[in-house]
């Protein structure tokens, strides 16, 4: 499973990119709003840091307007992927964009049927939201297994981005259930890198090293 970072914060992207573990970035209107900066400027800066798929989301709800927005966004960089909401208008936009060779990421997916529709419309990626399903009392990870199963049986090459990741366990379960990618927030990366036994091990090595040559 590949890893993307789910943020529009440049410092967070630089830090995790320096770890060498990510190959893409996802953003959404809420993440962009948090930064308080011009949308296109932020996206452009991200493309200068990470050389991989960078999802930028349209905000229109009508397919022809989504396509217009997408046409402007793809001018920023060849790596731009257009994030489109999982609606009938979104599907129409995906169809048009796919016919023009524009990559899309269908977002706000909450069940396998939605993922199947998105894939058939020509989506490059689908983004099922694991954490938000947990929030309403369902086992969010089950959407990943269901979509992975359906895509496998029917040889669908749309990639599954496990999204709305809140914990390291979500990342591990996404990998085990067959997501192609997990898009992970900065705080979850920080939690993933740590283990108390690693810290105890480093302390012991350094204490023992103090006795060398004495
Ligand atoms: C997906 O690409 C979204 O940006 C994101 O994962 C949503 O996460 P949230 O539910 O924590 O807002």
Q: Which CATH superfamily hosts domain 2-209?
A: Aldolase class I (3.20.20.70)
187 catalytic, yes or no? Answer: no
| Beta carbon of 132 within 6 Å of any ligand 1 atom | yes
The residues that bridge with 129 in the sheet, in sequence order, are 163
Q: For residue 116, give the nearest of 85, 71, 76, 86 by alpha carbon.
A: 86
Domain boundaries, the chain: 2-209
Predicted confidence (pLDDT) at residue 8 exceeds the cutoff of 80: yes
**Close Cβ partners of 157 (under 8 Å, ≥ 6 residues apart):** none
pLDDT at 213 over 90: no
Give the pLDDT confidence of 20-39 residue by residue, as tens digits. Answer: 999 999 999 999 999 999 99
User: Which of ligand 1's atoms lies nearest the C-alpha of 27?
Assistant: 4
C-alpha separations of 101 from 63, 98, 155, 179, 184 in Å: 16, 5, 21, 24, 27
161-201, pLDDT tens digit by residue?
Answer: 999 999 999 999 999 999 999 999 999 999 999 999 999 99
Dihedral sign, CA of 173, 15, 24, 8?
Answer: positive
| Residue among 12, 85, 115, 131 to mutate when testing ligand 1 (max atoms within 8 A of CB) | 131
Distance 10 CA to ligand 1 centre (A): 17
Q: Is 29 in the pocket of ligand 1 (CB under 6 A)?
A: no
Atom of ligand 1 nearest to the CA of 105: 2
Query: Which is the catalytic residue, given 44, 75, 83, 204?
Result: 83
User: Atom 7, ligand 1: which residue's CA is nearest?
Assistant: 164
Q: Which residues pair with 168 in a beta bridge?
A: none
* Spatial CA neighbour of 109 closest among 132, 137, 82, 136: 132
ipTM surpasses 0.90: yes
CA–CA distance, 144 with 212 (Å, rounded to integer) = 51
């Amino acid at each position: 499973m590949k890893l993307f970072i789910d943020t529009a914060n440049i410092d967070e992207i630089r830090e995790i990119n320096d770890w060498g573990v990510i190959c893409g970035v996802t953003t959404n209107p809420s993440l962009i709003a948090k930064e308080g900066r011009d949308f296109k400027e932020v996206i452009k800066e991200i493309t200068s840091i990470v050389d991989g798929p960078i999802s930028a989301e349209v905000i229109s709800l009508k397919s022809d307007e989504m396509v217009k927005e997408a046409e402007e966004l793809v001018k920023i960089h060849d790596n731009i992927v257009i994030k489109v909401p999982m609606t009938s208008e979104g599907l129409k936009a995906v169809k048009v964009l796919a016919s023009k060779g524009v990559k899309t990421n269908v977002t706000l997916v909450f069940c396998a049927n939605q993922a199947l529709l998105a894939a058939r419309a020509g989506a490059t990626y689908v983004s099922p939201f694991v954490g938000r399903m947990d929030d309403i009392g369902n086992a969010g990870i089950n959407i990943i297994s269901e979509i992975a199963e359906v895509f496998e049986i029917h040889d669908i090459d749309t990639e599954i981005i496990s999204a709305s990741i809140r914990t390291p366990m979500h990342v591990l379960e996404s990998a085990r259930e067959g997501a192609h990618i997990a898009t992970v927030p900065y705080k979850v990366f920080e939690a993933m890198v740590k283990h108390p036994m690693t810290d105890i091990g480093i302390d012991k090595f350094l204490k023992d090293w103090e006795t060398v040559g004495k």
